[in-house]
Amino acid sequence: MAWKRSTRRRGSDAVTEYGKQLAVTETPIPGLVVFNLPVHGDARGWFKENWQREKMTALGLPDFGPVQNNISFNDAVGTTRGIHAEPWDKWVSVATGRIFGAWVDLREGSTFGAVYTTELDPSKAIFVPRGVGNSYQTLEPDTAYTYLVNDHWSPTAAYSFLNLADETAGIDWPIPLSEVEISEKDKNHPRLADVTPIPPKKTLIIGSNGQLGKALRGEYGDAPHIEYADRTTLDITDPGLESARRWRDYGTIINAAAYTKVDLAEAADGRRDAWAANVTGLTALARIATTHALTLVHVSSDYVFDGTSERPYREDDPLCPLGVYGQTKAAGDQIITTVPRHYIIRTSWVIGDGNNFVRTMASLAERDINPKVVNDQTGRLTFTTDIAAGIHHLIDTQAPYGTYNLTSAGDPQSWADIARHVFELTGHDPARVTDVSTEEYFASATSPVAPRPRNSVLDLDKIHATGFTPAGRLGQYFSG
């Protein structure tokens, strides 16, 4: 049974409620949540679990990975500390005494300037997301509040500040600001109209000069928090990768870098390079993402399957790669699944800006060359613009982490079917395309040839359920 213990101290009248259930209260500021904490007490004092990862994350608290525990002690009633927005998350609770707290969203976005206030005593705690300004006024003497943070203080960290008396925020302080102890610095902070909003954590796109990297550039544009890196500026196989960035400044890594030379991977040099990029480098990225609680996006392939299924492949089908390239992609998938915050984007038959099958067929048609094209491999084309848009969608909507099949729309076709469609779209006779089997096509090859999955069709139900429908069509490729 819940009961209350009233304590009087130097004229104050504080009430701490014992026996409450652990519970969450949402606020008007996204991500700012108040927790009721069970406090167990008797005549000797009280005990509480101030931070309990398993129980609190089960109620929706982000697993924010605190690295430092700080305590602020305030001797006098009315001590008021300014509205500071820091570049890290905080878990704030009261050890002794009572405080009035005011929080103002100082992040870029539609909720910039939103305000929330409440009192905290030992039976309450609040999670303050990065970029939300927070300030506290003590309501009892000898008040101490503690806060866990998920980054170490840095002299180069970017803060934003808001004046305690800002008219737009209109905070109703229990003790007027004219009667309390405030630092000169806090008195001189800017009004809301002059505040520099805190931008989102950085998103790093690796492999930005490749076909998918270029599509991601088109999708994300030049927003200040988006950073692009090609192999000349960030090589994921470099042993110094883990110290190449201040990784705590990032929220997401999108890895568009990979070894994709399917046939060359069957030779000794190619096998080494494929494993270095698709497995060794990916292992380092996975370690970085796990250590710094980043979201890691990885692009996988239909080549992780052997192509013998009689139905489209689902995300949970067992991996069964045929060749070296497929083996490295399958190994990479397994590594990425160890990262708590990950998206694996499994795709097939990728078409982007650069040399690709569609452009080759269009060129042959224009030059009056009649190609022989494989007719016993079936799948769907995937335009890099669809992959980029799908990645953006999953991250923005905070879709559940995991593996998602993502190809462009349309009925499954063979390579020969697609070639005929290209001929038709470019004004040429599709009958000029001749069907051949995979064995016939590679019969005269003088270098190693990787085995291909005959069925590369991926089931798209899971990504459709998130609200994303790929838009790409072959006709649009030529029209736009």
Supply the DSSP symbol for 270: H
- C-alpha radius of gyration, the chain, whole number: 29
- Write the Ramachandran bin of 48: left for phi over 0, alpha for psi from -120 to 50, otherwise beta: beta
Percent helix / strand / coil, the chain, rounded to 5: 25, 30, 45
Backbone dihedral angles phi then psi of residue 40, each to the nearest 5 degrees = -110, 120
Torsion over CA: 165, 167, 173, 177 (sign): positive
Alpha-carbon distance of 171 to 177, in angstroms, equals 10
Give the Cα-Cα-Cα angle 41, 44, 47 (nearest 5 degrees): 40
Catalytic residues: 84, 147
| Residue 361, both tokens | 């067929």
Token duo for residue 371: 């190609």
Buried b vs exposed e over 107-136: b needs ≥16 C-beta within 10 Å?
A: bbeeeebbbbbeebbbbbbbbbbbbbbbbb
Angle at 445 between CA 302 and CA 299, to 5 degrees: 20
Q: Which tokens sit at 261?
A: 């030379």
* Nearest Cα to Cα of residue 387 among 340, 422, 352, 421: 352
Q: How far is 7 from 280, CA to CA, in rounded Å? A: 60
